[in-house]
Structure 1
Amino acid sequence: MIYIYNDYGGTHTTSLAAAFHLNILKPSQQPLSKKEILAVPYFNKLTRKDFGKLIFHGKDEEGHPVYTLGRKKSKLVVPALKEWSQMFMALHQVEEKIIFSNTSPTVPFVMTIGGGLSRGLGIDSLGVPLLIKGAQKCSGNIHQLVEYTKNIATEQTSENVIILENKQFKA
């Protein structure tokens, strides 16, 4: 099993999803603190050169690798990766399941603005506080998305590559 959380930039909600998946962050009734959010690996750290790269975050408790991907505006990246993965697995007789899980629906507006200011314009003094508010607002939703992703991954299916759009987790 390979998990790939993806969204526009690949550095905010995807990093939070990977952190929940790997138990770096734990679900709580309390909002995440600024310190917890900023300590998440890769949170608000990736740049334009990282778009399109699979970023390895670690292996989960079952030994499954967890990656993130910033795909920009392209709606074709994930379907193309699905096709490539299926071709590769067939050619090399690989028996693996890959789950692409879209975190974009969880992004609140405040996080979009914060990410644009911080990553897009380099204005961290304005962007980071907005990113923290956004992360605090959507962290419960992201945790639910991760749990849903893990549950779908364990279901018996003939598909070896699954794309989850996750529209039910709308911010």
Structure 2
Amino acid sequence: MIPMIYIYNDYAGTHTTALAAAYHLKQLPQSERKLTSEEILNVKYFNKLTRQDFGKLLYHGDDEDGNSVFTIGCKRDKLAVPAMKELTLLLQGKYHFNEKIIFSHTSPAVPLPMSLGGFFSRGLKIDFIGVPLLVIGAKQCCDNIYRLVENTIQIGRTSFNENVIILENEMYK
């Protein structure tokens, strides 16, 4: 089996991406059931990143198949992931490494309470308003995130002809 690298990406890299990485690594229940507040708040990196973390690839661990799982917050830069794809293709061609890389965009699954919660908590540092909104939003979208991750893994396992795949995941809006 060709080794793969999964990179979940969105605006901040600290909410839906953290949940996606946790689902992928089986650190959350493997079902579409609603998560508890405690499960959400205990996810590594959930609501813990700052502006200085934008653009950094954060390693979350290796999945059961030995594939690496990362997250990244790209802010509003729509060119970040395509640029990473082009750089990856260049490096694969020059250095002949064979890892398949799957970029999976989690922003389409973000509900309004999560956007507002992120703004209050991370942007304005008003956690007493932001964190409860983030938890409400996470509970609203956790089933979509779970399905998004399952779909991402399935595409990674079945796409044999592409070395770099970008999933926009628009169906999870």
TM-score (norm 1): 0.97
Of 131, 142, 157, the match for 2:145: 142
Query: Are 2:133 and 1:110 equivalent residues in the alignment?
Result: no
Q: Does the residue aligned with 1:56 lie in a helix, a strand or coil?
A: strand
Could you say which residue in structure 2 is the equivalent of 1:86? Answer: 89
**Matched residue type, 2:108:** P
Secondary structure at 1:62 match in 2: coil
Structure 2 counterpart of 1:32, from 23, 31, 35: 35
Equivalent residue in structure 2 for 1:14, among 4, 17, 32: 17
**Equivalent residues of 2:60, 2:71 under 8 A apart:** yes
Q: Is the CA contact (8 Å cut-off) linking 1:27 and 1:140 kept in structure 2?
A: no
After TM superposition, the structure 1 = structure 2 runs for residues 71-82 of structure 1, keeping only pairs within 5 Å, are: 71-82=74-85
Equivalent-residue separation in structure 2 for 1:142 and 1:29 (angstroms): 9
Contact 2:61 2:69 in 1 (8 A): yes
Tell me which residue corresponds to 2:134. 131
Cα RMSD after superposing both structures: 0.9
Letter of the 2:89 counterpart: Q
**CA drift at 1:96:** 1.2
Q: Which runs of 5+ in 2 are unaligned?
A: none
Match of 1:42? 45
* In 1: Cα distance, 2:91 partner to 2:117 partner: 38
Q: Is 1:161 paired with 2:164?
A: yes
Q: How far has the Cα of 1:29 moved from its partner?
A: 5.8
Confirm or deny: 8 A CA contact 2:32 2:142 kept in the other structure: no
Q: Is the 8 A contact 2:31 2:146 kept in 1?
A: no
Pairwise CA distance, 1:30 = 4.2
State the alpha-carbon separation in 2 of the partners of residues 123 and 71 from structure 1.
22
Q: CA offset at residue 23 of structure 1?
A: 0.3
Counterpart Cα distance in 1 of 2:32 and 2:150 = 16
